[in-house]
């Protein structure tokens, strides 16, 4: 393993605060070098915001860094330990195919994790090969950048590098490594690991570190650990409401995939819904619909309850009192989620003020979409521009016309003008989402033909989903009807 020449100003500015936690929480390990790294896709704008000066390196050197063949100056790689409930079953986990290079301190003072995903075996690989394949890594790149453009808190993707090696899954596939950027990789599962295999002192060290890194405003609170729980609940309630408002289905809401920072993480079997149906599931491994679209808010509460359980020794020395404090905090989640969802739905319908019957108006509209199998994104788009393009069947239904009359009367009972409502709807209803068939089209071109132009064009139109530009129109069309339901796969 080689280090980059420190005389070259590449812009890396690493710190390693996580490594100052007890060593129980990580293992020191370097990425495994790959045979022939080549840069497949690179996020230049993200690199610039991180303060990286990639122009000072040759293309081959950039590929070598993001493949793990060369370690940037100041990096001290490690793999993180954590646990998690996977489909309800608790198990020991950890970074089985990822290595944290360090925490980049950006020019604006942000602290962001830089992680290589698919970089080889670690002590937590559990028999796996530690590698990743090109399709899923490109998929995460597309989906995470689309989520960022949709203003949904998310980890981001800096680069994808092909390795020149074959990875065996159901069949031989091209290997790849993704560079992921995150506020941190601290998960509910990290706290579960500390609570189950650590001491109370180690749990407290993790909680103190998390507060200092993500919630410093609660350090002065009388019970800062209760405040930590409450703040995490707030962020998750807001995040999951945003998922529901865009039709996003995470697909694998295990506790190890819920971040304490409130970012969306792990874009394995995720997808966006076409026709509105709360029972929609895309993941090939979610056979019972545990993580269906309509179940996501409830699973969020379940995961947060698991987080609260880990904090009991810190919440109060009397366990019964600790349980009472935790339960009271968790009860607030549903109300907070509901508040964010209602506010988001009002914006999507151009409503500024609050009336008690708003929820009924919204739920009746969703019921109409479900009954008539209307496209979620395009229906709101049609309302925004008063056009029935793509959803004519719904607009011709008598029950929809009756609902539309109710909606128009509702809009008339607010001071804001029709133009104001229209602008609010434009800003709240994206023209495009990463449609599943478009994502698959881009992945097939890149993986099968090494043609990245399809992906590049898709990323370009997804970069400003609220532009409502002519260039986006062809990407708004849903897929042709098919007898085969769309499925996504985990990638491991």
The reply to whether 256 belongs to the active site is yes
Q: b/e per residue, 34-45, with b = 16+ CB within 10 A?
A: beebbbbbbbee
Check 113, 256, 266, 286 and give the catalytic one.
256
pLDDT band at 7 (very low <50, low <70, confident <90, very high): very low
**Residue 483: pLDDT over 70:** no
- Confidence (pLDDT) at 190: 98
**Residue 58: pLDDT over 70:** no
Question: What is the radius of gyration, based on Cα positions, of the chain?
Answer: 23
> Where do runs of H (alpha helix) occur along 77-182?
134-149
- Confidence (pLDDT) at 306: 98
| pLDDT tens-digit series, residues 351-361 | 999 999 999 99
Query: What residues have CB less than 8 Å from 1, skipping those under 6 apart?
Result: 30, 31, 33, 69, 70, 71
| pLDDT tens-digit series, residues 405-418 | 999 999 999 999 99
Q: In 10 A of CB 281, how many CB atoms?
A: 24
Residue 390 contacts residue 292 (beta carbons within 8 Å): no
What one-character-per-residue DSSP string does 201-236 give? HHHHHHHHHHHHHH-GGGTTSTTHHHHHHHHHHHHH
**Residue 484: pLDDT over 80:** no
| pLDDT tens-digit series, residues 283-299 | 888 888 999 999 999 99
- Confidence (pLDDT) at 171: 93
Average pLDDT over residues 365-376: 96
Task: Kindly report the backbone phi and psi dihedral angles of residue 275, in degrees, each rounded to the nearest multiple of 5, phi listed first.
Answer: -65, 140
**Residue 8: pLDDT over 90:** no
- Confidence (pLDDT) at 392: 84
pLDDT band at 158 (very low <50, low <70, confident <90, very high): very high
| pLDDT tens-digit series, residues 171-182 | 999 999 999 999
Q: How far is CA 313 from the centre of its chain?
A: 30
- Number of residues that make up the chain: 492
- CA 4 – CA 342 distance, rounded (Å): 51
- Give the Å distances, CA to CA, from 16 to 101, 154, 204, 256, 447: 9, 22, 19, 22, 35
């Amino acid at each position: 393993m080689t280090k980059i020449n420190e005389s070259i100003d590449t812009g890396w500015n690493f710190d390693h605060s996580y490594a100052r936690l007890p060593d129980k929480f990580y293992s020191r390990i370097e990425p495994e070098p790959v045979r022939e790294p080549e840069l497949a896709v690179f996020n230049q704008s993200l690199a610039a915001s991180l303060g990286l000066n990639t122009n000072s390196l040759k293309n081959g050197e950039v590929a070598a860094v993001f493949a793990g063949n060369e370690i940037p100056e100041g990096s001290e790689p490690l793999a993180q330990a954590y646990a998690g409930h996977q489909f309800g079953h608790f198990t020991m986990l950890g970074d089985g195919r990822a290595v944290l290079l360090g925490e980049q301190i950006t020019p604006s003072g942000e602290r962001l994790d830089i992680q290589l995903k698919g970089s080889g075996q670690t002590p937590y690989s559990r028999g796996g090969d530690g590698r990743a394949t090109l399709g899923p890594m490109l998929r995460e790149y597309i989906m995470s950048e689309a989520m960022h453009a949709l203003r949904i808190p998310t980890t981001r993707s800096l680069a994808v590098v092909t390795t020149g090696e074959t990875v065996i899954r159901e069949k031989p596939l091209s290997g790849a490594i993704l560079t992921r950027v995150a506020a941190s990789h601290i998960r509910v599962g990290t706290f579960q690991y500390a609570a189950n295999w650590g001491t109370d002192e180690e749990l407290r060290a993790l909680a103190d570190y998390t507060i200092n890194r993500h919630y410093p405003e609660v350090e002065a609170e009388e019970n800062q650990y209760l405040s930590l729980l409450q703040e995490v609940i707030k962020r998750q309630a807001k995040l999951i409401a945003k998922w529901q408002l865009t039709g996003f289905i995470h697909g694998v809401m295990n506790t190890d995939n819920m971040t304490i920072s409130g970012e969306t993480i792990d874009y394995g079997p995720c997808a966006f819904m076409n026709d509105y149906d709360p029972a929609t599931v895309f993941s090939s491994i979610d056979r019972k619909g545990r993580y269906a679209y309509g179940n996501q808010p409830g699973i969020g509460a379940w995961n947060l309850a698991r987080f609260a359980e880990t904090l009991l020794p810190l919440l109060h020395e009397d366990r019964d009192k600790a349980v009472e404090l935790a339960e009271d905090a968790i009860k607030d989640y549903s109300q907070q989620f509901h508040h964010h969802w209602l506010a988001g739905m009002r914006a999507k319908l151009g409503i500024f003020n609050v009336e008690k019957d708003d929820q009924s108006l919204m739920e009746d509209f969703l019921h109409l979409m479900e009954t008539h199998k209307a496209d979620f994104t395009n229906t709101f788009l049609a309302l925004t521009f008063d056009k029935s393009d793509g959803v004519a069947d719904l607009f011709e239904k008598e029950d929809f016309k009756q609902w539309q009359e109710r909606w128009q009367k509702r809009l008339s009972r607010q001071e804001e003008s029709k133009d104001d409502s229209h602008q609010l709807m434009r800003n709240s209803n994206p023209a495009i989402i990463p449609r599943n068939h478009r994502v698959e089209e881009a992945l097939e071109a890149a993986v099968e033909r090494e043609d990245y132009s399809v992906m590049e064009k898709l990323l370009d139109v997804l970069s400003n989903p609220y532009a409502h530009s002519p260039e986006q129109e062809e990407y708004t069309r849903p897929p042709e009807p098919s007898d085969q339901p769309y499925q996504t796969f985990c990638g491991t």
